[in-house]
Every structure is written in C-alpha cells, then in structure tokens.
Amino acid sequence: MRIALIDTTKRRSHYSVALLKLGAWIRDRGDECALFEGTLPPAGEFDEAWLSTVFSFDMPRALDFARASRDRVERVQLGGVSASLFPDYFTREGFEVVRGIVPEADGFPPAYDLLSERPEYAITKTTHGCPRSCDFCMVPRIEPKFGAREHWQDAVPEGVSQIIFYDNNILALPPRKLDCTLTEICDLAAERKIREIDINPGLDARLLTSRSADLLEGLPGLSPRFAFDGMQADGYYQRAVRMMAERGTKEFRTYVLFNHTGTLAEFYYRIRTSAELQVELRAAGYRVTVKSYPMKFTPVVEPDLARDHIGFHWRRSDRDAVRKILSSSSGGSMYVSPTTLDEFEYWWGRNVDEFLTLLRYPKLSLLLQRRRGSLRLKRARATQRNRSDGR
C-alpha cells in the first residue's frame, strides 16, 4: 500500500512531526509513504491520503484538500488538532477523522528523510498532556492525561543545532523526574553540540522553583517563554522572571492572552507588567529584554472560521484596536517590546483610562500613523545630535 501524507497548513513555521512519526510507523508495517507539504499527490500513484490539520481557521483549506484528494486516491482520512476538535466539519462530507494522538505511531522517531532536506532542528517532547484544564486551551481535549514520555531522545538526530520541545507543561513533572529530565536535556545538548533549546509552548511560572530555575539556566540558548494569560499567574510570573534574570537569562518572551474572559484593564496590566519588569531589572544591573506576545483567543469548543470571536468583556473595535497598536508599535514583529516605560506609555497609554480612550479613538489608524512619524523624526534628530557631539 502507498500512502500520501499531506500537510495542509498554509503557513507553517515547523515541519509536521506528527506526519513524520506516522511515516515511520507506516514503513514499519511494510507499507510505503511520501510527504506532501501544501501540495496534492499525483493522481493514481497512491492508495490512501492522510491529511493533517492544525489551525481551525485553516479548516476550509484542509477540506478543499480532502475533496481534491478523493479524485486521486481510494481512501481519505484527516487527523491533527482542528480535525480532533471539530470532527463534524469533515465527517459531514463523509471523510474519516482520527481524533487525538495515534498511539501506535507516537512511539516512533520521526522519519526525517521524508522531508525534502534534512532540518537543522529537531522536534520532540518529554511529556504528554497537561495537568491543568484551562478553558482556553485545546490540550485537555487532545491529550487528556499528563505524564512523562520515555525515549524522547530518539527523535533528535545527529547534526541538528536546535531542539524544539513541544511540552505543554514540562514543569508539572514530579520534582525528581523533572530534575532527571532537565539534566538529560542538558547532557544531550552538550553531547550533540546543540546551540539552542526552545521550550516552545512556554513554562508555567507558577511551578518554577529555585532548583528548576538552576537547571533551566544550564540549557544552551534558552530564552524562556512564560505565559501570563490571566490574573491567576500574577505574582508568580514576576517572581519567575526575576529568578531567571538573577541566574543570567537575558531574553524573555511572554504569551499574553486577550479577547477571552479577562477584562481590558487586566490585559493592560499584564503587558505593562512586563515593561515594568524590564525597567526594574535593568536598573538593578541586569541586561534583559522582557517581551510580551499578545495572543488573540480562538475558541476550542466551536470553530471560528472567520476568526471573528469577541471576548466576554471585549468589543470588536477593542480587539481590532489592540492589533493595530501592536502592529504600529512593534514594526510588524507583534511583540510589545519597548526600550523604556515612556515608550510603552507612548503607544499604550500611561494608565488604564488612557488605554481605553486610545482603543476607542475615532481615527486610531491616523493617530498611530502620526505617532510613528513623530517617533521616527525624534530618533533621527537624536542620531544627528549624537553625530554632531562625536558620539
């Protein structure tokens, strides 16, 4: 049997490790497979097509791929995050859906040779699931049980320079197991000459201890990603950033959820907190950057194909205004990363009242355009003065 593995994601940042694991399992069964990234297999050359889906807003594209595949193969089935969350979207047209993790394939190392070129990074995870049940997260629906995964090192081939960990909450491991796991990561990085470790989904600041902070700091190139998604992390988040800064960490990236159930005032507080932490730590002599990455909530209970969900305390205009300010202030990076508190307040307001007024300003786009121009002029004049002074 020949099986076409199709990644339907429109804009992918990483290869599909799930499809590569499926490929290894398919070969172990004695069948053949090939990987197609954003393309369809030639008609008549494959018996089945297995399609992966990730983002819910990409589901119409995945459905189009499934429809087109019907004319090319005898059997079509879909899996992945969005197909697992919203199977009816596909099954109502007669397609098969495989929900959740495929246990038979999960234990296999990825078949990297399916890729057109060998990657410079490896993707693996030392745990599955998460013990928390956050209502904004899809993990409890995809991997309902939390636990350690053995032999995670098998997914790391020789020659890569980066390891990306997809652990949803690695710090939730029992203390002894966590010590062992972080030590194993550190040892493997030294053995393979890995330059960068990225724990991509982020770290739970509420679970960081002095011991785990010591071990994390030993990981090469780690820029910790924390989550400040709600006020339940207030205090814990600040403590975690300070702990890691004291151990030498230079860069922090923080996920900040908005357009969910939190208020606009809480959102402002959370992004301002990161800016204030950066000022505080720099004043104390630490050369750090603390970036916030606002992430717009997308429902995990029902599909939001138009990406038009409005949070409980939010208006559509509020949600859109946040994106406009973020784009203007970040130069397109979509991070809140001011160099000073004055710069933060220039874009986001000096307090909650100014922030709310800014969001509801009738000609916000024009105002932001003027502020960008004013800031460029100010910086140009400062550069000219420095040159004139011989600096």
Q: Give the per-residue pLDDT at 391.
A: 59
Residues 337-362: tens digit of each pLDDT: 999 999 999 999 999 999 999 999 99
Q: Domain extents for the chain?
A: 2-105, 111-315+331-351
Q: How confident is the model at residue 385 (pLDDT cuts 50, 70, 90)?
A: confident
Contact 75, 48 (CB under 8 A): yes
In a 13 Å sphere around the CA of 329, the CA atoms on its Cβ side amount to 26
Q: Give the per-residue pLDDT at 382.
A: 75
The first and second tokens of residue 301, run together, are 């209970």
Q: Give the per-residue pLDDT at 11.
A: 84
- The domain defined by 111-315+331-351 folds into Transcription Regulator spoIIAA (3.30.750)
Q: Does the structure show a pLDDT above 90 at 179?
A: yes
Residues 221-274: tens digit of each pLDDT: 999 999 999 999 999 999 999 999 999 999 999 999 999 999 999 999 999 999
Partnered with residue 165 across adjacent β-strands are: 124, 199
β-strands 147-148, 225-227 pairing: unpaired
Q: Give the per-residue pLDDT at 306.
A: 87
| Overall average pLDDT of the 210-216 stretch | 97
Q: How confident is the model at residue 208 (pLDDT cuts 50, 70, 90)?
A: very high
| Least confident stretch, 41-45, 165-169, 246-250, 298-302 | 298-302
**Under 8 Å CB-to-CB from 349, ≥6 apart: which residues?**
268, 355, 356, 357, 358
Q: Does the structure show a pLDDT above 80 at 388?
A: no
The Cα 302–Cα 76 span in angstroms is 23
The first and second tokens of residue 6, run together, are 């199709």
The first and second tokens of residue 37, run together, are 């990234």
Q: Does the structure show a pLDDT above 90 at 386?
A: no
| Overall average pLDDT of the 39-53 stretch | 96
Residues 65-108: tens digit of each pLDDT: 999 999 999 999 999 999 999 999 999 999 999 999 999 999 99
Q: How confident is the model at residue 331 (pLDDT cuts 50, 70, 90)?
A: confident
Give the mean pLDDT of the chain. Answer: 94
User: What type of residue is 70?
Assistant: R
**Under 8 Å CB-to-CB from 250, ≥6 apart: which residues?**
223, 287, 288, 289
Q: Give the per-residue pLDDT at 375.
A: 87
Q: Which residues of 305-314 are buried (b: 16+ CB within 10 A; e: fewer)?
A: eeeebebeeb
CATH assignment of 2-105, among 3.40.50.1980, 3.40.50.300, 3.30.300.180, 3.40.50.280? 3.40.50.280
Distances (CA, A) of 362 to 321, 326, 365, 367, 368: 10, 17, 9, 9, 12
| Overall average pLDDT of the 142-170 stretch | 95
User: What type of residue is 38?
Assistant: G
Q: Give the per-residue pLDDT at 332.
A: 84
Q: Give the per-residue pLDDT at 381.
A: 83
Task: State the SS3 of the chain.
Answer: CEEEEEECCCCCCCCCHHHHHHHHHHHHCCCEEEEEECCCCCCCCCCEEEEEECCHHHHHHHHHHHHHHHCCCCEEEEEEHHHHHCCHHHHCCCCEECCCCCHHHHCCCCCHHHCCCCCCEEEECCEECCCCCCCCCCHHHHCCCCEECCCHHHHCCCCCCEEEECCCCHHHCCHHHHHHHHHHHHHHHHHHCCCEEEECCCECHHHCCHHHHHHHHCCCCCCCEEECCCHHHCCHHHHHHHHHHHCCCCEEEEEEEECCCCCHHHHHHHHHHHHHHHHHHHHCCCCCEEEEEEEECCCCCCCCCCCCCCCCCCCHHHHHHHHHHHHHHHCCCCCECCCCHHHHHHHHCCCHHHHHHHHCCCCHHHHHHHHHHHHHHHHHHHHHHHHHCCC
The Cα 55–Cα 34 span in angstroms is 23
